Amino acid sequence: MTWIMEMVKMYRSGLIGVAAFVLLGGALYTYTAPAAPAAKPAPVAGPASAPREVPRNMAQVQWSFAPVVKRVAPAVVNVYSRSTVQTAVNPFFNDPFFQRFFGIGPQSQRRVQQSLGSGVIVRADGLILTNNHVIQGGTDIVVSLSDKREFKAKVQLADPRTDLALLKIDTRGERLPIVEFGNSDSLAVGDVVLAIGDPFGVGQTVTMGIVSALARANSDATNAQFFIQTDAAINPGNSGGALVTIDGKLAGINTSIVSPSGGNVGIGFAIPSNLARRVVEGAASGGIRFPWIGADGQPVTAEIAGALKLARPQGVLLKTVYPGGPAAQVGLKTGDVIAAVDGVDVDDMQALNYRVSTRKAGDTVKAKVVSDGRWREVMLRLALPPESPRRATTTIGGRNPLTGARVENLSPAVAIDLQMNLFSKGVVIRSAGESFAAQYGFQPGDIIRSVNGRGVGSVDQLKGALEGTRHWDMVIDRAGRRLSLRVDG
């Protein structure tokens, strides 16, 4: 009783708080006098014998993610890609003018280049999702499972627009574990996520973090790349691995980091699973083709919001509307604002492109728009971008600066493939490879504007302008920059 009275006095005088009072009181209450020695207790089984199960509520999840990892980790693989690249022995010898003067060919040597990444098994017959940049240019791709077995892999689909690729391995009928797709649109900032992959080639590694931000986009407004940001440790080698939720569903494909040192600083990015699912579905139907709304735009700034009498900066201001496209068909025009798609806010073209890319041609989406100062909702029926004019894909032959280049007529469909301005016109270089055109510095995406003063509007016009002369004055458009090239043959 003396101890109890002393505690009461200390509590009333403010020397201890409520928590200490309860703690001390509880300890006093549970104290008993020492009893007679009891029989020696039986040995207690170690932690390894304790049963484990998948968490069924948040309280259980807070204790351990081991059950989730145990189920998901076998479906995350390592991807090794090997490619052979040409490197110049001496750049001087590769100058086209030097080669013509001395009559020699390019001087180079071959070098084997390897890349390491991760992948996620998304179909039990051996279909694996990874990043395009992990396998790009690879001629020998090997997949290593979590049980150390290795398989040669074939590329089923490679899409630089989304930086996603699909690999297939021959399992000879064996069913492999998979990671189920989750709904990345249901993620919220603060949700706990796990990143699984093979950083720096040290072996499969699991890291934990939260969703730091949603709707991160790169600077290219013409593509559908849209990222989940996380502080779960992501390092080189994690690319293509799984970002999973605490219920073991695929939230995204780990893709890149922001780091001045090359290592993790807590800013990592993953491609949302809803876009990844579209790529997988596209592969099953022979190739992915993204729909469009037939418009291009820019973010609404504070100045634009003031001019349009909007309560705050929001939405995408349409700069160009393609005649006959989905947006034009519902009456949208230059100067209108698209503020939301299917109830989700869109604040830039990347966000708008992403919302469209997760749907299929023929689907209908509900857009919230501001037109002529009035808010309204319109139903947009998505369509494939037109290939008008037709591509007319051609590899340039003969003796001229573009020899070996593959060129096409520009259309909205081609512009989307090359992540260019949707309304570009003319003739574009689709690829140059190791051709003579590449030696002159031509690059994919270059638009040929004129040859010897003659405007170039089609592949046929380009071929005609290149023939019958040994002198070429060319004007090229490269990402909005105007370049000139003069060549005497």
Catalytic amino acids?
133, 163, 239
Could you tell me the CA-to-CA distances from 204 to 123, 195, 215, 286 in Å, in that order?
20, 10, 28, 32
Phi and psi at residue 483, in whole multiples of 5°?
Answer: -120, 150
The span from the CA of 69 to the CA of 54, in Å, is 10
The span from the CA of 202 to the CA of 213, in Å, is 28
Phi and psi at residue 322, in whole multiples of 5°?
Answer: -75, 125
The DSSP code sequence of 144-184 is: E-TTS-EEEEEEEEEETTTTEEEEEE--TTPPPP---B--G
Residue 9 half-sphere exposure, CB side, CA atoms within 13 Å?
Answer: 6
The kind and range of the H/E element at 250 are: strand 250-257
- Give me the amino acid identity at 463: K
Could you tell me the CA-to-CA distances from 59 to 65, 182, 318 in Å, in that order?
12, 22, 48
- Strands 364-371 and 337-341, by their bridges, are antiparallel
The span from the CA of 483 to the CA of 486, in Å, is 10
